C-alpha cells in the first residue's frame, strides 16, 4: 500500500508539473520572457539561471509553478505577456489545461494497448478476457458500505440460506440478492489478487434508486488494441471520459439546484479521498491505475478551465473582458479578486479534507 501511495503522490505532482510545462512551452514559443520555472513551492532550495530563466527546486513538494513576465503584474516591453496579441495570451493560459488532456490521451493509449477495462452487456458473448461484475458506486450507510466493500470489487459468488450462485452477469447479482433479501448473505469478492468472503444482509425495504445492497454494478472485460490503433482509441476514450465527467457534474448541480441534495452514490472528496481511491484502484492492476490517473487529469483540466479567478479559466475570463472593453483591467483589482478566490478555494479544500479525515475515523 505504501508503494501505491508514493506512486500516487508522484503521479499527481507529475500532472501539475506537466500542466505548468504547458504554460512554459507556449510562453517560450511566442517569445514571452519566462522569469522562473520551479519544481515545488518556495522557499527556494536551489536555483540555476539558464539563459533568461531561473530553474529552481523548492522546499514544498506539492507541484510546480511558472513565473511569466508581465502576467500577474503588468509590465512594459515586447517580451511582456501583456504586449502579445489576444490569441497568443489565450493559448499560453490554455496551454496548461490542454496538457492535462494530452497526458490523459497518452495514458489511455497505453491502457488501450495493455487492455482497457470496458463495460459490456450481460448478453455479450464470444471470447471475453477476464469478464467480471464490478462495483462502481456505493451508497453511504448502505449494507455494502457497512460490509466495507470498495469501488472496483468484483462479485464472484452470492450465497445465502436458500441460494448458492456463481456470478458472471449483473442480472445474476440482482436476481440472487433479490432472493436473499433479509437473510445473511455471503459475497465472494475479488479485490486485485485477493479473493475473500464478505457478509451482509440485503435490505427488504430500501430507496428505489439504491437497491437492497446500495451499490451500482457493471459488467466489465479487458479489451486491447494493436499498437497502431491504441493512440486513436486512447484519444476517443479521452473525449468520452471528458463528456462523462461533464454530464456527471451536470447531474450533481441539477440535483442541488432542485433541492434534492447530492445524488445517491455520489460523493465529494478532496486529496485524502483521492489517495483512498488510488489505493483501491492500485490493487486492481496497472491498467486500472493508469486509467484512474487519466480520469484525474481530465477532471483537473475541466476544473482549471472553469471561469473562476485564481484558475486558468479565470485568467482567460479577464482576457476576454479586456478584449471586450478595449482597454486593460486595473491590475490591483485583478490581483485582489484572484487572491480572494485563491483563499476561498484553499478554505474549501481544507473543509473537504477535514470532512474526509473525520469520515475515516
Q: What are the pLDDT digits (tens) for 117-155?
A: 788 888 776 667 888 999 988 988 899 999 999 888 999
Query: What is the pLDDT, as a whole number, of residue 176?
Result: 95
> What is the model's pLDDT at position 199?
95
- pLDDT the model gives residue 196: 94
Report cis status (omega within 30 of 0) of the bond before 254: no
Q: What is the DSSP letter of 124?
A: -
For residue range 29-73, list pLDDT tens digits in order: 999 999 999 999 889 999 999 999 999 999 988 889 999 998 877
Reported pTM: 0.78
CB within 8 Å of 188: residues ≥ 6 apart: 155, 156, 157, 158, 159, 195, 196, 197
Domains of the chain: 98-115+225-361 (no CATH), 129-223 (2.30.42.10)
Residues of the chain with pLDDT under 50: none
Residues 6+ apart with CB under 8 A from 215: 135, 137, 138, 139, 142, 144, 149
Give dist(CA 70, CA 83) in Å, integer.
Answer: 9
Phi-psi label, residue 192: left if phi above 0, alpha if psi -120 to 50, beta otherwise? left
Helix (H, G, I), strand (E, B) or coil at 304: helix
Amino acid at each position: 500500500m505504501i508503494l501505491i501511495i508514493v506512486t500516487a503522490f508522484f503521479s499527481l505532482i507529475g500532472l501539475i508539473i506537466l500542466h505548468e510545462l504547458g504554460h512554459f512551452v507556449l510562453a517560450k514559443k511566442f517569445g514571452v520572457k519566462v522569469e522562473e520555472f520551479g519544481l515545488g513551492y518556495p522557499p527556494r532550495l536551489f536555483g540555476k539561471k539558464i539563459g533568461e530563466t531561473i530553474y529552481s527546486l523548492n522546499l514544498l513538494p506539492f507541484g510546480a509553478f511558472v513565473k511569466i513576465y508581465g502576467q500577474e503584474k503588468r509590465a512594459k516591453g515586447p517580451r511582456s505577456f501583456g504586449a502579445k496579441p489576444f490569441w497568443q495570451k489565450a493559448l499560453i493560459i490554455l496551454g496548461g489545461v490542454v496538457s492535462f488532456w494530452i497526458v490523459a490521451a497518452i495514458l489511455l493509449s497505453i491502457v488501450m494497448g495493455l487492455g482497457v477495462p470496458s463495460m459490456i452487456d450481460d448478453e455479450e458473448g464470444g471470447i471475453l478476457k477476464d469478464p467480471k461484475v464490478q462495483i462502481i458506486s456505493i451508497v453511504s450507510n448502505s449494507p455494502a458500505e457497512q460490509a466495507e466493500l470498495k469501488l472496483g470489487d468484483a462479485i464472484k459468488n452470492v450465497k445465502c440460506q436458500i441460494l448458492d450462485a456463481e456470478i458472471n452477469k449483473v442480472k445474476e447479482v440482482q436476481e440472487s440478492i433479490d432472493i436473499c433479501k433479509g437473510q445473511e448473505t455471503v459475497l465472494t469478492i475479488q479485490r486485485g489478487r485477493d479473493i475473500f468472503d464478505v457478509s451482509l444482509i440485503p435490505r427488504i425495504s430500501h430507496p428505489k434508486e439504491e437497491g437492497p445492497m446500495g451499490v451500482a454494478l457493471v459488467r466489465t472485460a479487458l479489451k486491447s488494441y494493436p499498437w497502431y490503433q491504441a493512440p486513436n482509441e486512447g484519444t476517443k476514450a479521452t473525449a468520452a471520459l471528458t463528456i462523462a465527467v461533464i454530464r456527471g457534474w451536470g447531474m450533481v448541480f441539477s440535483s442541488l439546484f432542485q433541492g434534492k441534495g447530492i445524488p445517491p452514490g455520489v460523493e465529494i472528496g478532496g486529496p485524502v479521498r483521492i489517495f483512498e481511491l488510488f489505493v483501491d484502484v492500485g490493487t486492481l492492476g496497472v491498467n486500472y491505475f493508469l486509467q484512474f490517473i487519466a480520469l484525474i487529469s481530465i477532471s483537473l483540466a475541466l476544473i482549471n478551465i472553469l471561469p473562476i479567478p485564481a484558475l486558468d479559466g479565470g485568467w482567460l475570463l479577464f482576457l476576454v473582458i479586456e478584449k471586450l472593453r478595449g482597454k486593460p483591467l486595473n491590475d490591483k483589482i485583478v490581483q485582489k479578486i484572484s487572491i480572494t478566490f485563491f483563499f476561498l478555494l484553499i478554505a474549501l479544500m481544507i473543509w473537504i479534507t477535514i470532512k474526509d479525515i473525520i469520515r475515516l475515523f
